């Protein structure tokens, strides 16, 4: 999963809370901060029930600082 987001406090925490509720386990994480430190992209590899993917995307996008999600 790749999440484009603003470089603000709490976005990754919000994402990890969604993962925890769905019982997904983060195995790898890379957060890239772009020039000017305004936006980032986090790439997450995880295990868990991918049947809940649309539910996760909806919950993560509820954060106003999330710009886009691709899987």
Check the CA dihedral 49-2-28-18 and report its sign.
negative
Q: What is the CA radius of gyration of the chain?
A: 12
Domain 2-70 is in which class? Answer: alpha beta
**pTM of the full structure:** 0.91
**pLDDT score for 3:** 98
**pLDDT score for 40:** 96
pLDDT digits (tens, 9 = 90+) for 24-70: 999 999 999 997 888 999 999 999 999 999 999 999 999 999 999 99
23, pLDDT greater than 90: yes
Q: For residue 44, give both structure tokens.
A: 């997450």
- What is the 3-state secondary structure of the chain? CEEEEECCCCHHHHHHHHHHHCCCEEEEEEEEECHHHCEEEEEEEEECCHHHHHHHHHHHHCCCCEEEEEC
Q: Where are the domains of the chain?
A: 2-70
């Amino acid at each position: 999963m790749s999440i484009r987001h603003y470089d603000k406090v709490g976005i990754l925490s919000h994402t990890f809370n969604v993962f925890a509720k769905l019982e997904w386990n983060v195995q790898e994480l890379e957060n890239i901060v772009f020039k000017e430190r305004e936006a980032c992209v986090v790439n997450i590899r995880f295990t868990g029930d991918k049947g809940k993917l649309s539910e996760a995307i909806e919950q993560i996008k509820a954060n106003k600082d999330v710009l886009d999600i691709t899987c």
